A and B are shown apart, each in its own frame.
Chain A
Amino acid sequence: MLQGYGPLIASGTWMTLQLALLALAAALLLGLLGASARLSASRLLQTLAAGYTTLIRSVPDLVTMLLLFYSLQIALNHLTEWAGAGQIDIDPFVAGVVTLGIIYGAYFTETFRGAFQAVPRGQLEAAVAYGMTPWQVFRRVLFPQMMRFALPGIGNNWQVMIKATALVSIIGLSDVVKATQDAGKGSLQLFFFSLVAAAIYLAITTVSTLLLAWLGRHYAAGVRKAEL
Chain B
Amino acid sequence: MNEIIAIVQEYGQAYLWSDGYRLSGLAMTLWLLLLSIVIGFVMSVPLAVARVSSNRLISGPVWLYTYVFRGTPLYIQLLIIYSGIYSLEAVRAQPLLDAFFREGFNCTLLAFALNTCAYTTEVFAGMIRETPHGEIEAARAYGMSRFTLYRRIILPSALRRALPSYSNEVILMLHSTSIAFTATVPDLLKVARDVNSATYASFEAFGLAAVLYASVVFALVWLFRRCERRWLAFLQPRAH
Contact = CB atoms under 8 A, between A and B. Distances in A.
Contacts of B179: 62, 167
Contacts of B203: 67, 70-71, 74
Interface in B84-127: 84-85, 87-88
Contact of B71 (A58, A166, A205): A205
B59 interface: no
* Residues of A contacting B: mostly: helix
Interface in A52-93: 55, 58-64, 66-67, 70-71, 73-74
B210 A63 contact: yes
B209 A190 contact: no
A163 interface: yes
A55 B214 contact: yes
Residue from A55, A64, A70 having most chain B Cβ neighbours under 10 A:
A70
A221 to B, nearest CB: 27
Nearest to A64: B210
Contact of A202 (B68, B178, B193, B217): B68
Interface stretch (A30-38, A117-125, A191-199): A191-199
A164 interface: yes
Contact of B73 (A67, A71, A163, A181): A163
Contacts of A70: 196, 202-203, 206
Contact-residue size bin, chain B (C-beta under 8 Å from the other chain): 35 or more
* Residues of B contacting A: mostly: helix
B84 A191 contact: yes
A5 interface: no
B116 to A, nearest CB: 14
Contact of B189 (A62, A164, A165, A166): A62
A214 to B, nearest CB: 18
Given A66-B206, A191-B87, A60 B71 contact: no
Given A67-B203, A70-B196, A194 B79 contact: yes
Interface residues of A, number: 35
B41 interface: no
B72 A202 contact: yes
A206 interface: yes
A202 B71 contact: yes
Nearest to B77: A198
A129 interface: no
Interface in B197-235: 202-203, 206-207, 209-210, 213-214, 217-218
A188 B84 CA distance: 10
A67 B83 contact: no
Contacts of A71: 202-203, 206
Contacts of B178: 60-63
7 contacts: A70-B206, A167-B179, A170-B182, A177-B75, A184-B83, A191-B85, A202-B71
Interface of A: 55, 58-64, 66-67, 70-71, 73-74, 163-167, 170, 177, 181, 184, 188-191, 194-195, 197-198, 201-202, 205-206
Given A66-B206, A70-B202, A197-B79, 7 more contacts: A60-B178, A60-B189, A62-B179, A62-B189, A67-B210, A191-B80, A202-B72
The 5 residue pairs across chains A and B that have the minimum distance between CB atoms:
A70-B202, A166-B73, A60-B175, A67-B206, A191-B84
